[in-house]
Amino acid sequence: MRIAMIGTGYVGLVSGVCFSEFGFDVACVDIDASKIERLNAGEVPIYEPGLDGLIERNLSAGRLSFTTDFDTAVARADVVFVAVGTPSRRGDGEADLTYVYAAARQIAKAMRPGTVVVIKSTVVVGTCRKVAEIIREERPGVDFSVASNPEFLREGSAIEDFMRPDRVVVGAEDERAEAALRRLYRPLYLRETPILVTSLENAELTKYAANAFLAVKITFINEIANLCEKVGGDVQKVASGIGLDNRIGSKFLHAGPGFGGSCFPKDTTALAATGLKHGAPQRLVETTIAVNEERKRQMAERVLAALGPETAGKRVGILGIAFKPNTDDVRDAPSLVIVPALQAAGVTVVAHDPEARGQAEPLLPGLEWRANPYDVADEVDVLAVITEWNTYRGLDLAEIARRMRGHAVVDMRNIWQGSDVVAAGLDYQGIGKTPLSVG
């Protein structure tokens, strides 16, 4: 089976490369010629553990190729995946489907009869049928199938998530589409991965419902954390206590500075907009969006409070700028709200991140970067952890204390034991627990 993967963003690139690892012939297509050139030279445009090795192996095996030649890739393919971006549309927050529809038109013109067109981009309910209409309009009478196959991989563990998913969701309403997707995911049958085949609408909705549910779960534990702080509780203990209930589950119960990234903010906004449009408001999701936005600002206020009443001229060190560890992605990262809020209060902000500097530098003017996490502590009044990179967990807290001029730590990811930080001579404020002070 030959695959054309339209779009080499996160989802398209990882899925295309993983399908080639399964042994299929994959052509990944993008309009960005310099990106394609770099990919063909084995250079990976995103930081994703393990991806470079897979690209190299499958490129040299001749199963994987990168091209700007859309029409040839589509004309040779049995299955064409659409994995182009669906950003938030300005104004109403619905997903902007311009790129999906443009791809559909071009696919229609270039494809062979019998092609299966699979929408992998996250698209609002009804989009797959619209894509089918567009293709019929462009190529009246031609035989083809449309399917939906949302992707649930996470950045930072994308390869593992693609290769070992909890489930595969397929929206397919004819035998050809179902058979093609079952065949592509056959390597996962060995692991007994459930493959749910359902309608186009159900598949489209499943993706949004899954992401929104997880966003609600995170926001829920963040609000419980606020309550813990007021009444002397410890959110990590409460999260463990509820997470052991199988109906709840222990994952996505880490309280923190609010969710970010390329999916949750965009997908919750799109789902809320879709709900309003169809007269079925998603009030839990609407509230989640508002609470999460406010949470990022509250995090900045927390750091400002730790600086004391006079903030102008003070210095804050930040560990971690990416929206989560193991990625260089800063899209909708809490740091993008927290850093400017501190700067607006006259604070000089110094930061370290193992991977995100390149992405973040243009978005955070005035932020001073350090190549080493210890250097971030030099002469700062407050040290704040925003992203839980593993390498921060084992830092020598006494060394940090020696370098700081102040003595407050705000740990927004609970990566350190409060008692260890206090033993090093610093005040400690985690999330959802009682602050500890030295004196």
Specify binding-site residues for substrate: 152-155, 207, 252-256, 260, 324
Please tell me which residue in 18, 28, 228, 263 is annotated as part of the active site. Answer: 263
Q: Which is nearer to ligand UDX, 218 or 351 (CB)?
A: 218
- Binding of residue 155 to ligand UDX (CB under 6 A): yes
Choosing from 165, 260, 320, 430, the residue that interacts with ligand UDX (CB under 6 A) is 260
To ligand UDX, the closest distance from the beta carbon of 410 in angstroms equals 16
Give the phi and the psi of residue 382 in degrees, each rounded to 5.
Answer: -135, 140
324, exposed or middle or buried, with CB in 10 Å at 0-12, 13-18, 19+? buried
Taking the complex as a whole, how short is the minimal distance between the CB of residue 99 and ligand UDX, in angstroms? 18
Structure tokens at 165: 């998913």
* Residue type (1 letter), 200: L
State the nearest-atom distance from the C-beta of 263 to ligand UDX, in Å: 3
What does the chain come to in residues? Answer: 439
Of 93 and 261, which has the nearer Cβ to ligand UDX?
261
The full DSSP string for 120-174 is -S---TTHHHHHHHHHHHHSTT--EEEEE----PPTTSHHHHHHS-S-EEEEE-S
In the complex, least distance from residue 172 CB atom to ligand UDX, rounded to whole angstroms: 20
Cα–Cα dist 321/413, whole Å: 12
* Closest distance to ligand UDX from the beta carbon of 326 (Å): 9
Stretch of 64-72, 102-110, 254-262, 399-407 contacting ligand UDX, by CB under 6 A: 254-262
Q: 161 CB contacts (<8 Å, ≥6 apart)?
A: 152, 153, 154
Q: Contacting ligand UDX (CB under 6 A), which of 101, 185, 220, 252? A: 252
DSSP H or E segment with residue 6:
strand 2-6
In whole angstroms, give the CA distance from residue 400 to residue 382: 11
Q: Which one, 150 or 317, has the nearer CB to ligand UDX?
A: 150
Short-list 21, 9, 18, 65, CA closest to 41: 65
Helix axis angle, 127-138 to 200-231, nearest 10°: 150
Site for ligand UDX in 274-333 (CB under 6 A): 323-324
For the question of residue 263 being annotated catalytic, the response is yes
Beta bridge partners of 319: 352, 385
Q: Which CB atom, from 234 or from 368, has the smaller least distance to ligand UDX? A: 234
Please report, for residues 76, 87, 301, the alpha-carbon distance to residue 29 in angstroms, rounded to integers and kept in the order given: 13, 19, 45
CA distance 324 to 415: 13
Contact 307, 314 (CB under 8 A): yes
State yes or no: residue 386 binds ligand UDX (CB under 6 A): no
User: Which of 263, 318, 339, 364 is in the footprint of ligand UDX by CB under 6 A?
Assistant: 263
> Does residue 266 interact with ligand UDX by CB under 6 A?
no
Q: What is the DSSP-derived secondary structure letter of residue 378?
A: T
* The one among 261, 317, 320, 354 contacting ligand UDX by CB under 6 A: 261
| Interface with ligand UDX: number of residues (CB under 6 A) | 20
Question: Contacting ligand UDX (CB under 6 A), which of 14, 100, 218, 384?
Answer: 218
Binding site members: 30, 35, 86, 122, 152-155, 207, 252-256, 260, 266, 324, 331
Quick one: 95 or 424, whose CB is closer to ligand UDX? 95
Q: Which stretch binds ligand UDX (CB under 6 A): 84-92, 169-177, 246-254, 360-368?
A: 246-254
Residue 272 beta carbon to ligand UDX: minimum distance, rounded to whole angstroms: 16
Which residues form the catalytic set? 263
Tell me which residues touch ligand UDX (CB under 6 A). Answer: 151-155, 211, 214, 218, 252-254, 256, 259-264, 323-324
